[in-house]
Amino acid sequence: MSRFWLDRPVRADRHAFLGTSGFGPVDNISVLERYEHDAAEWTRAHGGSVVEVHCYALTSDATVPGMRSRVLDELHRVYPETTTAGIVDERHELRADCPLFPPGGFAARPTITTPEPGLVLAGDHVRVDLPVALMERAATSGMLAANRLLRLWGLRGHDVWSVPVAGRSPLLRLAARFA
């Protein structure tokens, strides 16, 4: 994660949060003064922008000095007006605390239920058969795990709403199996 305090603002129509794809290691860019109190105050006082760039899938040998220019290059590609902005301050955090799910690893993840009836698992690392990820998977698995325990204790849980996980037409579902 790299946060830059820039001496001039990004364009007014830039989104508070932008998920990216195809921009090297960059996964998203936030314009913090759009939604964070301290950043908004700083921007009010100094007239610039506070921009945060996240990269979630770096190689294990990545270093802050090694990544800094790549991150900045991609920021400039996404928001070209940042190319000419001066960097007033910057902070970088490089951690290995984001769960890694290799392609094909879904089936091997721990599930909410365990062989021990009173022991349930929840969190982003847990398999949930709904189209959720990250915080949403952590929260959804928490609800499902709590529901499981509540059912065990004869108590009513909370409904979890999601989109249908299968197509509505049985004929098309059948055709998809042979596609």
Q: How far is the CB of 28 from ligand FAD (least distance, A)?
A: 7
Helix (H, G, I), strand (E, B) or coil at 92: strand
Rg (CA), the chain: 22
Q: Give the residue with the Cβ less far from ligand FAD, 1 or 146.
A: 1
User: Closest separation between CB of residue 135 and ligand FAD, Å?
Assistant: 3
For the sheet with 49-54, list strands across it: 17-19, 28-31, 49-54, 2-6, 87-92
Instruction: Please check whether residue 10 is in contact with residue 31, taking contact to mean a CB–CB distance below 8 angstroms.
Output: yes
- Positions that interact with ligand FAD (CB under 6 A): 1, 54, 97-98, 123-124, 134-136, 138
Name the residue nearer to ligand FAD (CB basis): 108 or 135. Answer: 135
Q: Which residue is nearest to ligand FAD (CB)?
A: 123
Nearest partner of 112 among 161, 166, 150, judged by Cα:
150
| Closer to ligand FAD by Cβ: residue 98 or 149 | 98
